[in-house]
Amino acid sequence: MPGELWFYHLERTTLADALPELLEKTIQKGWRALVRAPSEDRIDQIDGLLWTARDDGFLPHGRWDEPDPDRQPILLSLNEDNSNKSDVLFALDGVEPERPDAFARCCVVFDAADEGAVQSARSLWKKAKADGHSIAYWKQSIEGRWEKQG
């Protein structure tokens, strides 16, 4: 059975605000996460963000190019080598999941201000639907909460 693809449309907050919350919920479920970004610069930004996103601690994570990536509950990577046995893939900044069936869920997080990422998400939505994936679209309410649409 094809995996789930969930689309998160950032309209009211930035990735820096939304990603830590989504990752925290993932960890609370007992799941592991693979966060895939398109460049090392973006990985560096996310790495720094996850160390400082919470006042009372940090989100436990590591990078694919550091020792023991298999031990990380959240792994930051440029590819989909799932060495930490992630349940969830977070595809950022227009990155398209290569093997969505390798994960219980793929979360495509895209910024409304990035037209390229919006177009990529639309294209992926159509393809995922045609391939029989379970798909869901989430958008932010005025209060900033995620609401499932349709």
Closest CA to 138 of 1, 3, 10: 10
Q: How far apart are CA 8 and CA 18, in angstroms?
A: 9
What order of strands is seen across the sheet that includes strand 62-63? 62-63, 74-77, 33-36, 88-92, 105-111, 4-10, 134-140, 146-149
pLDDT, one tens digit per residue, over 53-103 is 877 778 999 999 999 999 999 999 999 999 999 999 999 988 999 999 899
pLDDT band for position 150 (cuts 50, 70, 90): low
Region 102-110 average pLDDT: 95
Return the pLDDT at 81: 93
Q: Which residues of 101-113 are buried (b: 16+ CB within 10 A; e: fewer)?
A: eebebbbbbbbee
Per the DSSP assignment, residues forming a β-bridge with 110 are: 9
Strand partners, 80: none
- Mean pLDDT, the chain, rounded, equals 92
Q: Is the pTM of this model over 0.85?
A: yes
